[in-house]
Structure 1
Amino acid sequence: MTHWPEGYGRRVLAEVDSTNAEAARIAAGLSGPEWILGQRQTAARGRRGRPWVNPAGNFAATLVIRPEDTPDKLALRSFVAALALYDALASVTGTETGLALKWPNDVLLNGGKLAGILLEGIGGPGGHLAIGIGVNLLSAPGREAVEPGAVPPVSLLGETGVRVLPETFLEVLATAFAAHEARLTSYGFEPIRT
Protein backbone atom coordinates (compact mmCIF):
# COMPACT_ATOMS: atom_id res chain seq x y z
CA MET A 1 0.00 0.00 0.00
CA THR A 2 1.27 3.47 -0.86
CA HIS A 3 0.94 6.65 1.14
CA TRP A 4 1.02 10.22 -0.09
CA PRO A 5 4.63 11.47 0.01
CA GLU A 6 5.43 13.95 2.75
CA GLY A 7 5.94 17.55 1.63
CA TYR A 8 4.01 17.20 -1.65
CA GLY A 9 0.68 18.95 -2.18
CA ARG A 10 -2.18 17.55 -4.24
CA ARG A 11 -5.10 19.13 -6.12
CA VAL A 12 -7.65 17.24 -8.14
CA LEU A 13 -9.65 19.23 -10.69
CA ALA A 14 -12.80 17.93 -12.39
CA GLU A 15 -11.89 19.87 -15.55
CA VAL A 16 -8.98 22.03 -16.65
CA ASP A 17 -7.65 23.28 -19.96
CA SER A 18 -4.22 21.76 -19.32
CA THR A 19 -2.56 20.68 -16.09
CA ASN A 20 0.67 22.36 -17.28
CA ALA A 21 -1.25 25.59 -17.95
CA GLU A 22 -2.78 25.35 -14.47
CA ALA A 23 0.71 24.84 -13.06
CA ALA A 24 1.82 28.11 -14.68
CA ARG A 25 -1.16 29.93 -13.18
CA ILE A 26 -0.60 28.73 -9.60
CA ALA A 27 3.19 28.29 -9.37
CA ALA A 28 3.95 31.68 -7.83
CA GLY A 29 1.62 30.97 -4.89
CA LEU A 30 3.01 27.55 -4.02
CA SER A 31 5.15 26.92 -0.96
CA GLY A 32 6.33 23.46 -2.05
CA PRO A 33 5.95 20.82 -4.75
CA GLU A 34 2.36 20.28 -5.87
CA TRP A 35 0.67 17.62 -8.00
CA ILE A 36 -2.27 18.74 -10.16
CA LEU A 37 -4.56 16.02 -11.52
CA GLY A 38 -7.09 16.88 -14.21
CA GLN A 39 -9.97 14.43 -14.50
CA ARG A 40 -10.68 16.03 -17.89
CA GLN A 41 -8.43 18.28 -19.97
CA THR A 42 -9.90 20.47 -22.72
CA ALA A 43 -6.60 21.66 -24.28
CA ALA A 44 -4.02 18.98 -23.44
CA ARG A 45 -0.71 19.15 -25.28
CA GLY A 46 2.47 17.18 -25.72
CA ARG A 47 5.97 18.13 -26.82
CA ARG A 48 6.41 20.86 -29.43
CA GLY A 49 2.82 21.98 -28.90
CA ARG A 50 1.36 18.79 -30.34
CA PRO A 51 -2.14 17.96 -29.12
CA TRP A 52 -2.41 15.18 -26.55
CA VAL A 53 -5.62 13.19 -26.81
CA ASN A 54 -6.90 12.55 -23.30
CA PRO A 55 -10.19 10.62 -23.12
CA ALA A 56 -12.03 10.39 -19.80
CA GLY A 57 -10.52 7.81 -17.46
CA ASN A 58 -6.97 8.40 -18.63
CA PHE A 59 -4.32 10.06 -16.47
CA ALA A 60 -3.29 13.70 -16.88
CA ALA A 61 -1.25 15.32 -14.14
CA THR A 62 1.49 17.86 -13.61
CA LEU A 63 3.98 18.14 -10.81
CA VAL A 64 5.15 21.69 -10.10
CA ILE A 65 8.53 21.89 -8.36
CA ARG A 66 11.10 24.59 -7.73
CA PRO A 67 14.45 22.82 -7.59
CA GLU A 68 17.60 24.85 -7.04
CA ASP A 69 19.36 23.58 -10.17
CA THR A 70 20.85 24.84 -13.40
CA PRO A 71 18.76 24.35 -16.57
CA ASP A 72 20.79 21.30 -17.63
CA LYS A 73 20.12 19.65 -14.28
CA LEU A 74 16.43 20.58 -14.39
CA ALA A 75 16.15 18.54 -17.59
CA LEU A 76 17.22 15.44 -15.62
CA ARG A 77 13.70 15.42 -14.11
CA SER A 78 12.54 13.85 -17.37
CA PHE A 79 14.58 10.76 -16.43
CA VAL A 80 13.26 10.88 -12.86
CA ALA A 81 9.68 11.08 -14.15
CA ALA A 82 10.23 8.21 -16.61
CA LEU A 83 11.63 5.96 -13.89
CA ALA A 84 8.78 6.89 -11.55
CA LEU A 85 6.25 6.09 -14.29
CA TYR A 86 7.93 2.76 -14.96
CA ASP A 87 7.83 1.88 -11.24
CA ALA A 88 4.21 3.02 -10.85
CA LEU A 89 3.08 1.00 -13.87
CA ALA A 90 4.95 -2.08 -12.65
CA SER A 91 3.33 -1.61 -9.24
CA VAL A 92 -0.26 -1.36 -10.50
CA THR A 93 0.12 -4.26 -12.95
CA GLY A 94 2.29 -6.45 -10.73
CA THR A 95 4.85 -6.98 -13.52
CA GLU A 96 7.55 -5.22 -15.51
CA THR A 97 6.86 -7.45 -18.54
CA GLY A 98 6.48 -5.38 -21.69
CA LEU A 99 7.46 -2.06 -20.10
CA ALA A 100 10.26 -0.06 -21.69
CA LEU A 101 11.59 3.49 -21.55
CA LYS A 102 12.07 5.49 -24.74
CA TRP A 103 14.25 8.36 -23.61
CA PRO A 104 13.73 11.06 -22.86
CA ASN A 105 9.98 11.27 -22.55
CA ASP A 106 7.99 8.12 -23.35
CA VAL A 107 7.05 4.93 -21.57
CA LEU A 108 6.19 2.02 -23.84
CA LEU A 109 4.14 -1.08 -23.18
CA ASN A 110 4.45 -4.02 -25.57
CA GLY A 111 6.08 -1.66 -28.08
CA GLY A 112 3.28 0.94 -28.05
CA LYS A 113 3.29 4.40 -26.47
CA LEU A 114 1.55 4.24 -23.12
CA ALA A 115 2.72 7.47 -21.52
CA GLY A 116 4.37 10.78 -22.31
CA ILE A 117 6.24 13.39 -20.27
CA LEU A 118 6.39 17.14 -20.94
CA LEU A 119 8.79 19.42 -19.04
CA GLU A 120 8.19 23.18 -19.14
CA GLY A 121 9.92 26.02 -17.31
CA ILE A 122 7.65 28.50 -15.53
CA GLY A 123 8.69 32.04 -14.65
CA GLY A 124 12.11 32.15 -16.29
CA PRO A 125 15.49 31.37 -14.67
CA GLY A 126 15.11 30.42 -11.02
CA GLY A 127 11.41 29.75 -11.54
CA HIS A 128 9.38 26.58 -11.31
CA LEU A 129 9.43 23.44 -13.39
CA ALA A 130 6.20 21.79 -14.59
CA ILE A 131 6.44 18.05 -15.23
CA GLY A 132 3.36 17.04 -17.20
CA ILE A 133 2.53 13.35 -17.43
CA GLY A 134 -0.12 11.67 -19.53
CA VAL A 135 -0.91 7.95 -19.33
CA ASN A 136 -3.43 6.01 -21.41
CA LEU A 137 -4.93 4.14 -18.48
CA LEU A 138 -8.31 3.30 -19.99
CA SER A 139 -8.09 3.95 -23.72
CA ALA A 140 -5.65 5.00 -26.40
CA PRO A 141 -6.28 7.43 -29.25
CA GLY A 142 -6.74 5.87 -32.69
CA ARG A 143 -3.89 5.88 -35.17
CA GLU A 144 -5.56 8.79 -37.01
CA ALA A 145 -4.97 10.98 -33.94
CA VAL A 146 -1.17 10.59 -34.04
CA GLU A 147 1.30 11.87 -36.58
CA PRO A 148 2.63 9.54 -39.27
CA GLY A 149 5.63 7.52 -38.15
CA ALA A 150 4.85 7.95 -34.44
CA VAL A 151 4.90 4.97 -32.11
CA PRO A 152 1.31 3.64 -32.06
CA PRO A 153 -0.52 4.41 -28.80
CA VAL A 154 -1.75 1.69 -26.45
CA SER A 155 -3.69 1.67 -23.19
CA LEU A 156 -2.94 -0.04 -19.90
CA LEU A 157 -6.39 -1.65 -19.84
CA GLY A 158 -6.13 -2.84 -23.45
CA GLU A 159 -2.67 -4.35 -23.04
CA THR A 160 -2.90 -5.81 -19.53
CA GLY A 161 -6.58 -5.96 -18.55
CA VAL A 162 -5.70 -3.87 -15.48
CA ARG A 163 -8.12 -1.03 -14.71
CA VAL A 164 -6.83 1.69 -12.41
CA LEU A 165 -8.44 5.02 -11.51
CA PRO A 166 -6.46 8.22 -12.16
CA GLU A 167 -6.49 9.21 -8.46
CA THR A 168 -5.18 5.80 -7.45
CA PHE A 169 -2.47 6.00 -10.09
CA LEU A 170 -1.52 9.51 -8.89
CA GLU A 171 -0.82 8.21 -5.40
CA VAL A 172 1.41 5.40 -6.69
CA LEU A 173 3.20 7.73 -9.13
CA ALA A 174 3.72 10.52 -6.58
CA THR A 175 5.28 8.04 -4.15
CA ALA A 176 7.61 6.66 -6.83
CA PHE A 177 8.58 10.14 -8.02
CA ALA A 178 9.38 11.32 -4.50
CA ALA A 179 11.72 8.34 -4.00
CA HIS A 180 13.59 8.95 -7.28
CA GLU A 181 13.74 12.71 -6.67
CA ALA A 182 15.24 12.11 -3.21
CA ARG A 183 17.82 9.79 -4.81
CA LEU A 184 18.72 12.45 -7.40
CA THR A 185 19.10 15.25 -4.86
CA SER A 186 21.05 13.08 -2.40
CA TYR A 187 23.35 11.13 -4.73
CA GLY A 188 23.34 12.96 -8.06
CA PHE A 189 22.47 11.62 -11.50
CA GLU A 190 24.56 8.42 -11.52
CA PRO A 191 22.04 6.24 -9.64
CA ILE A 192 19.27 7.56 -11.93
CA ARG A 193 21.37 6.82 -15.03
CA THR A 194 22.07 3.30 -13.74
Structure 2
Amino acid sequence: MSTRFAPAAVLALATTAVLTGSAHASTVYHAGPLAYDCKFPDTSLQRVTLVQQFTGPDTVAPGATFRISDVSGRVTLSPAAHANLAAGGSDGLDSGFTAAFVEAANAPRSSTVSATDVPAMWGPDPVVIDFGGGRQVHKAAASGTVTFHADRLALILSLHRPDGAPSGPTVVCTPASGQNTGFAPTMPIG
Protein backbone atom coordinates (compact mmCIF):
# COMPACT_ATOMS: atom_id res chain seq x y z
CA MET A 1 0.00 0.00 0.00
CA SER A 2 1.43 3.37 -0.94
CA THR A 3 0.73 6.72 0.65
CA ARG A 4 -0.05 9.76 -1.50
CA PHE A 5 0.27 13.31 -0.26
CA ALA A 6 -1.82 16.04 -1.75
CA PRO A 7 0.29 18.78 -3.39
CA ALA A 8 -1.04 21.37 -0.91
CA ALA A 9 0.03 19.25 2.06
CA VAL A 10 3.54 18.80 0.65
CA LEU A 11 3.80 22.55 0.00
CA ALA A 12 2.62 23.33 3.56
CA LEU A 13 5.21 20.98 5.08
CA ALA A 14 8.01 22.41 2.94
CA THR A 15 7.02 26.00 3.77
CA THR A 16 6.91 25.21 7.49
CA ALA A 17 10.41 23.71 7.35
CA VAL A 18 11.82 26.76 5.57
CA LEU A 19 10.13 29.34 7.85
CA THR A 20 11.05 27.71 11.15
CA GLY A 21 14.73 27.37 10.32
CA SER A 22 17.00 25.12 12.31
CA ALA A 23 15.72 24.14 15.73
CA HIS A 24 17.73 24.82 18.87
CA ALA A 25 17.42 23.03 22.16
CA SER A 26 16.05 24.90 25.17
CA THR A 27 18.24 25.56 28.18
CA VAL A 28 17.34 26.68 31.70
CA TYR A 29 19.51 29.56 32.91
CA HIS A 30 19.97 30.16 36.69
CA ALA A 31 21.16 33.05 38.89
CA GLY A 32 21.34 33.53 42.62
CA PRO A 33 20.89 33.73 45.43
CA LEU A 34 21.46 37.46 44.95
CA ALA A 35 21.11 40.26 47.51
CA TYR A 36 18.96 43.27 46.55
CA ASP A 37 18.41 46.57 48.33
CA CYS A 38 14.77 47.68 48.07
CA LYS A 39 13.00 50.94 48.85
CA PHE A 40 9.89 50.05 50.87
CA PRO A 41 6.70 52.12 51.29
CA ASP A 42 7.99 53.88 54.42
CA THR A 43 11.07 54.87 52.33
CA SER A 44 13.38 52.61 54.31
CA LEU A 45 15.96 50.52 52.47
CA GLN A 46 15.46 46.80 53.13
CA ARG A 47 17.37 43.71 51.97
CA VAL A 48 15.75 40.88 50.02
CA THR A 49 17.24 37.82 48.32
CA LEU A 50 16.44 36.75 44.73
CA VAL A 51 16.82 33.34 43.11
CA GLN A 52 15.86 33.47 39.44
CA GLN A 53 15.72 31.36 36.30
CA PHE A 54 14.40 31.45 32.75
CA THR A 55 14.28 29.23 29.66
CA GLY A 56 15.98 30.25 26.43
CA PRO A 57 17.67 28.73 23.39
CA ASP A 58 21.02 27.03 23.95
CA THR A 59 22.51 28.98 21.03
CA VAL A 60 21.37 31.83 18.79
CA ALA A 61 22.12 32.87 15.20
CA PRO A 62 24.08 36.10 14.64
CA GLY A 63 21.74 39.10 14.62
CA ALA A 64 18.68 36.98 15.45
CA THR A 65 15.87 38.10 17.71
CA PHE A 66 15.09 35.54 20.41
CA ARG A 67 12.75 35.18 23.37
CA ILE A 68 13.44 34.06 26.89
CA SER A 69 10.41 32.62 28.67
CA ASP A 70 9.20 31.58 32.10
CA VAL A 71 11.26 34.25 33.83
CA SER A 72 10.54 33.01 37.33
CA GLY A 73 11.93 32.82 40.81
CA ARG A 74 11.58 33.59 44.46
CA VAL A 75 12.13 36.78 46.45
CA THR A 76 12.82 36.11 50.14
CA LEU A 77 12.13 39.06 52.41
CA SER A 78 14.51 39.78 55.26
CA PRO A 79 12.88 39.82 58.73
CA ALA A 80 13.13 43.65 58.66
CA ALA A 81 11.38 43.83 55.26
CA HIS A 82 8.64 41.48 56.51
CA ALA A 83 8.22 43.62 59.65
CA ASN A 84 7.96 46.73 57.46
CA LEU A 85 4.99 45.31 55.52
CA ALA A 86 3.39 43.81 58.65
CA ALA A 87 3.58 47.22 60.38
CA GLY A 88 1.36 48.53 57.59
CA GLY A 89 -1.22 45.83 58.38
CA SER A 90 -0.31 43.33 55.64
CA ASP A 91 -0.29 39.60 56.34
CA GLY A 92 0.03 38.18 52.84
CA LEU A 93 -0.02 38.69 49.11
CA ASP A 94 -3.28 38.68 47.11
CA SER A 95 -1.69 39.20 43.70
CA GLY A 96 0.74 41.38 41.83
CA PHE A 97 3.59 41.30 39.39
CA THR A 98 7.35 41.03 39.60
CA ALA A 99 9.45 42.68 36.93
CA ALA A 100 12.78 40.88 37.26
CA PHE A 101 14.83 42.46 34.49
CA VAL A 102 17.38 40.22 32.75
CA GLU A 103 20.01 42.15 30.80
CA ALA A 104 22.51 40.63 28.40
CA ALA A 105 25.94 41.51 27.08
CA ASN A 106 25.82 41.07 23.28
CA ALA A 107 21.99 40.91 23.19
CA PRO A 108 20.10 44.05 24.21
CA ARG A 109 16.58 43.63 25.60
CA SER A 110 13.76 45.12 23.51
CA SER A 111 10.66 44.19 25.53
CA THR A 112 9.59 42.75 28.88
CA VAL A 113 6.38 41.13 30.14
CA SER A 114 6.33 40.98 33.94
CA ALA A 115 5.88 37.71 35.82
CA THR A 116 2.77 37.06 37.91
CA ASP A 117 3.10 36.76 41.69
CA VAL A 118 1.66 33.70 43.44
CA PRO A 119 -0.87 34.63 46.18
CA ALA A 120 0.20 33.53 49.68
CA MET A 121 -0.58 34.14 53.33
CA TRP A 122 2.49 34.90 55.40
CA GLY A 123 3.39 33.20 58.63
CA PRO A 124 6.63 33.46 60.54
CA ASP A 125 9.85 34.20 58.67
CA PRO A 126 11.04 33.49 56.08
CA VAL A 127 8.42 35.24 53.92
CA VAL A 128 8.69 34.59 50.19
CA ILE A 129 7.16 36.00 47.03
CA ASP A 130 7.13 33.41 44.24
CA PHE A 131 6.68 34.61 40.66
CA GLY A 132 6.56 33.04 37.21
CA GLY A 133 5.60 33.47 33.58
CA GLY A 134 7.69 36.51 32.62
CA ARG A 135 8.99 36.92 29.07
CA GLN A 136 11.60 39.08 27.38
CA VAL A 137 12.82 39.62 23.82
CA HIS A 138 16.50 40.15 23.00
CA LYS A 139 18.52 40.58 19.79
CA ALA A 140 21.87 38.84 19.41
CA ALA A 141 24.99 40.65 18.25
CA ALA A 142 26.93 39.55 15.16
CA SER A 143 29.29 37.24 17.05
CA GLY A 144 30.57 36.20 20.44
CA THR A 145 28.68 34.98 23.49
CA VAL A 146 25.52 36.22 25.19
CA THR A 147 26.10 36.64 28.92
CA PHE A 148 22.94 37.24 30.95
CA HIS A 149 22.86 39.04 34.30
CA ALA A 150 20.15 39.97 36.79
CA ASP A 151 19.42 43.68 36.96
CA ARG A 152 16.66 45.81 38.51
CA LEU A 153 13.75 44.23 40.33
CA ALA A 154 10.32 45.82 40.78
CA LEU A 155 7.66 44.27 42.99
CA ILE A 156 4.18 45.58 42.11
CA LEU A 157 2.30 44.17 45.09
CA SER A 158 -1.36 43.76 45.95
CA LEU A 159 -1.05 42.96 49.65
CA HIS A 160 -3.62 41.14 51.77
CA ARG A 161 -4.91 42.94 54.86
CA PRO A 162 -7.34 41.42 57.39
CA ASP A 163 -9.43 44.62 57.33
CA GLY A 164 -9.84 44.38 53.54
CA ALA A 165 -8.32 47.83 52.93
CA PRO A 166 -6.46 48.06 49.62
CA SER A 167 -2.69 48.11 49.79
CA GLY A 168 -0.70 48.15 46.58
CA PRO A 169 2.83 49.42 47.03
CA THR A 170 5.53 49.22 44.39
CA VAL A 171 8.92 48.24 45.76
CA VAL A 172 11.91 49.05 43.53
CA CYS A 173 15.14 47.12 44.11
CA THR A 174 18.71 47.19 42.83
CA PRO A 175 21.36 44.48 43.18
CA ALA A 176 23.69 44.98 46.12
CA SER A 177 27.19 45.85 44.94
CA GLY A 178 30.11 43.45 44.95
CA GLN A 179 28.34 40.27 43.83
CA ASN A 180 28.25 38.23 40.63
CA THR A 181 24.77 38.71 39.14
CA GLY A 182 25.43 36.45 36.14
CA PHE A 183 23.26 33.61 34.93
CA ALA A 184 24.74 30.25 34.01
CA PRO A 185 25.34 29.02 31.41
CA THR A 186 26.23 31.55 28.71
CA MET A 187 24.70 31.39 25.20
CA PRO A 188 26.98 31.07 22.15
CA ILE A 189 26.20 33.16 19.07
CA GLY A 190 26.76 31.13 15.95
TM-score by length of 1: 0.30
